[in-house]
Every structure is written in structure tokens, then in C-alpha cells.
Amino acid sequence: MTTELLLAFMAYAFVTSITPGPNNTMLLVSGANFGFGPTIPHLLGVAFGFSAMVLAVGLGVGGIFVLFPPLHAILRYGGALYLIYLAWKIATSGGLGGGDAAARPMHFLQAVAFQWINPKAWIMAIGAVATYTPQNGYFLNIAVVSLIYLIINAPCIAAWAGFGTVLRRLLRRPLYLRLFNVGMALLLVASLYPLLMHA
């Protein structure tokens, strides 16, 4: 991998990691509702789960879509339904700190598993592998791409959880928290627009 290609990939990794999407929206909400500490397993699940997904796509998992085209539609609409369910859970969540026993941050394995139905994660992973992974020395290159994505992605998503934690101080009143959660739920649903309109 040349220096120019590496720098271009690092810019791609930063832009795709820091911009809004399902992971960042949910980390922002988790930080606001539960605080940074309880959100760490969710954060780590996203970072390591996505990096593992990039590696898996690079090693051929993405080829399943070529062999079985209906899987693309299943992932698109199944992922959309799950995101709508998550948006509903966010919009109806309780007060700060999860006083409701059912309200708790996503744990590590849930966040890892979520990457496989997250449409933005698939787009990011396939883009990284197809555009920034040279064929010469491919296996080393895909390992480097996965590692760099982990190194860049982790602080970007941590910033979203951290911003949510800062907002937590402003959301002490139940009405403000409810408005915030409903707004974030609507943003999560809005993130489905490109996915469903470009089907």
C-alpha cells in the first residue's frame, strides 16, 4: 500500500466514522441516557465488531451477495425493520440512568452483532475493501485496513458517546430527555432514507 493510498484511506475511514449513522446515533443516545462508563461495552462492540467485519468482507464474506442476490434485499429490509424497532425503543425509553429495568445500554456482543445488519457498516466495509485494498500483498493489506479502521473509528465513535454524556447534564428534566430521545429516534429512522430509496 502506497503512502498516498494509505492517506486517502485514512481520510475515508475518518469521514465515514465521524459522520452520523446508526452506530453514532445510538452511542450519542446511550451516552445521554446512561453516561460514558456504561456505554463503553457498546462502544467497544462497535469498534471491534466493525473492524472484524471489514476483515471478514475482505476475506470473502461479501461474495455471498454475488452468490445469493436475494440476501441483499433480506439484509436491507431486515436491517431497516430492526433500526425502526431500535428507534421505537429509543423514543420510548425511560429517564436518565435507565431507571426502567428494561432500559440499559447495548452490551458488547449486541453491538458486534449489530454491525452485520447495519447498512452503513456494510457500505463502509465494502468501500474500504474494494477501493483501498491493493491486490498485491492482499492479506497483509486487508489486515492493515482493518487495523487502521479500528484505530480511527474508535476515537470517532467515542466522541459521539462523549458528546451524549455532555448533553446528559442538559437533559435532567424528563421533558428535555423525552424530546431528545424522540428527536434521535426520528434521526435514526431518517438514516434509512438513502438505504431504501436507492434499493
Cα separation of 45 and 36, whole Å? 14
Q: Supply the pLDDT for residue 82.
A: 80
Cα separation of 53 and 61, whole Å? 9
Angle of CA points 52, 154, 152, to nearest 5°: 90
Q: Supply the pLDDT for residue 120.
A: 85
Region label for 35, one of left (φ > 0), alpha (ψ between -120 and 50) or beta (otherwise): left
Cα separation of 186 and 82, whole Å? 14
Angle of CA points 115, 103, 74, to nearest 5°: 30
Residue ranges, the chain, pLDDT below 70 = 62, 65, 72, 94-103, 194-199
Q: Supply the pLDDT for residue 101.
A: 42
Can you tell me which residue has the cell 473509528?
Answer: 153
Look up residue 92 and give its DSSP letter.
T
pTM equals 0.82
Q: Is 96 exposed, middle or buried (0-12, 13-18, 19+ CB in 10 A)?
A: middle
Q: Is 121 exposed, middle or buried (0-12, 13-18, 19+ CB in 10 A)?
A: buried
Q: Supply the pLDDT for residue 86.
A: 81
Output phi, psi for 174, to 5 deg: -55, -35
Q: Supply the pLDDT for residue 99.
A: 46
